[in-house]
Amino acid sequence: MTDQKLEQLPEMASTYLEHLKSLYEDVREWCAKRGLQVVEGAVEMNEQGLPHYEAPKITITRDGAPVAELVPLGAAIIGARGRVDLKGRLSRHAFLFQVGRGPSITIRATHEGSTSHDGPARPMIQGIDGDGWYWLESHARRAKRVDEALFGDLLADVSDYDFQ
């Protein structure tokens, strides 16, 4: 997508594309260290409330054979500011872009006479410590920031390859 077209998108979509770009730069580096290649492609995005736009996807290959791919799912995601899936032949893992401490919940107490007060906002998901891409460990409801080691583990999980 050209910079001019990117500027014409709503902020939500253009910010999502910038976050994808940053993640993909890291993934290219991590894959190169493992002797893997990255092939770029694109996906047409059709999200409610946003104009159609094109988002990058990447296919990870080993000696020309596909191993896995990172496929964008969208910017308009409940509980996140974007999602991209790492898909392989065995499974799939979702990476969610979180801001700050992620989604939070506030408890409102209403007392007799209709006075109310809000308790402190509490994070809904543990482990989110700042802006970035996270993988949710579903059985523990704990988020882990996507870094080189975690990406390698998840890539091995979705593809059944050992990239050590």
Q: Is 110 exposed, middle or buried (0-12, 13-18, 19+ CB in 10 A)?
A: exposed
User: What pLDDT is attached to residue 4?
Assistant: 39
Question: Which residue has 């001019």 as its token pair?
Answer: 4
> How much is the pLDDT for 33?
95
- Residue type for 103, please? P
What pLDDT, on the 0 to 100 scale, is given for residue 163? 64
Q: What is the pTM of this model?
A: 0.81
Q: Which residues of 40-68 are buried (b: 16+ CB within 10 A; e: fewer)?
A: eeeeebebeebeebebbbbbbbbeeeebb
**Per-residue confidence (pLDDT) for residue 2, from 0 to 100:** 40
* Residue-level pLDDT at 1: 47
- Ranges of residues in the chain whose predicted pLDDT is under 50: 1-4
What is the C-alpha to C-alpha distance for residues 120 and 148, in angstroms, rounded to an integer?
A: 34
First-to-final CA distance of the chain: 34
Q: Which two tokens stand for residue 121?
A: 């906002």
